[in-house]
Amino acid sequence: MPEPLLEVSDLRIRFGGFTAVDGLSFSVRPGEVLGVVGESGSGKSVSMLGVLGLIRTPGAKISGKVVFRGRDLLALKNAEMRAIRGREIAMIFQDPMTALTPVYTIGWQIAEQVRAHEKVSKRAARDRAIKLLDEVGIPAPEQRVDAYPHEFSGGMRQRAVIAMALSCNPALLIADEPTTALDVTTQAQILDLLRRLRADHGSAVVMITHDMGVVSEIADEVLVMYGGRAVERGSRTEVFHSPRHPYTWGLLDSVPRVSGPRVRRLPTIPGTPGAAGQGCPFADRCTHRLAACAEAPPLSGTAGHLDACWLPEEEKTR
């Protein structure tokens, strides 16, 4: 087993009295695709922004350890972190407009991204931008390279952002819902691109998504989040075929069967996610609740398949 590329331990992120991420630990090995799933508000985006040092909210409190290639990212200076972001780690944000500047052309922005990290001529950077736009499926990229973000459709903007993220062949790509806004054909193209990034450059990918179909297609490992915590973690096969946490059961039950239509957003399980507090964050919505659930269960298990649930082992099957 290769050493982890990224190892996050006991990450905690608080905004005032609200705990958005509550002791999250996970690791990603080189070339691995980790699928992060969990409903809206479970802390998926915030935890990854925390990993990258991108939480700017005044008064936000972040603690824990984020070790990437042997360095603790939470301890780095801003300038050191900037050098890592975009070159060794790239992020595709949930909202593509946060990554694009309205006043510059798409091609200029991709070319600048290339030139920020590599000594290449403007001409060569522009050619790279055209090639990248072509790779992410933008038609007529030689013309489209000179378009402004508002001239692109939402799906095209998302693809342009993906092109920017791929421009420096990062060792780790964190992709937050990169395919949600896209039609099925484009989505398949993007998943192919991510697979190629891994095959050609050994890149690891953290893929945040609501779409269990996407996870089942691309992830090696799956992290299920609920209420700012990891409730289950295991290989794709383990999590899909022998899920252990009642929340994961609910997630998988809400995935339509083969004949049904494909859902983009996970239907919700009754109730609303509780703010992380003392007990198990899922207890209020759990039909298997025990007295023990008043205290938060630790994430534990064997051979890489972990869950945070007090149910007796023999009852952790659907």
* Residue 143 sits in the site that holds ligand ATP (CB under 6 A): no
Q: Considering beta carbons, is residue 107 or 178 the nearer one to Mg ion? A: 178
Q: Applying CB under 6 A, does 45 fall inside the site for ligand ATP?
A: yes
Nearest to 41 by CA among 251, 229, 242, 218: 229
At closest approach, how far in Å is the CB of 48 from ligand ATP?
8
Contact 201, 208 (CB under 8 A): no
For Mg ion, the binding residue among 19, 42, 45, 187 (CB under 5 A) is 45
CA distance between the termini of the chain: 30
Q: Is 44 a residue that touches ligand ATP (CB under 6 A)?
A: yes
Show the site string, 70-109: x = touches ligand ATP by CB under 6 A, - = not.
------------------------x---------------
Would you state the structure tokens that stand for residue 185, as one six-digit string?
């054909």
Least Cβ distance, residue 16 to ligand ATP (angstroms): 7
Separation CA 187–CA 149 (nearest Å): 20
125 SS3 class: helix
Tokens of 232: 């289950």
Nearer to ligand ATP, 93 or 108 (CB): 93
Q: Which residues contact 77 (CB under 8 A, 6 or more apart)?
A: none
* Least distance to ligand ATP, CB of residue 39, Å: 7
Q: Under 8 Å CB-to-CB from 252, ≥6 apart: which residues?
A: 212, 240, 243
Q: Which of residues 64-103 bind Mg ion (CB under 5 A)?
A: 94
The residue at minimum Cβ distance from Mg ion is 45
The torsion angles phi and psi of 150, rounded to 5 degrees, stand at -70, -15
| Near ligand ATP by CB under 6 A: residue from 4, 30, 31, 41 | 41
20 binds ligand ATP per the rule CB under 6 A: yes
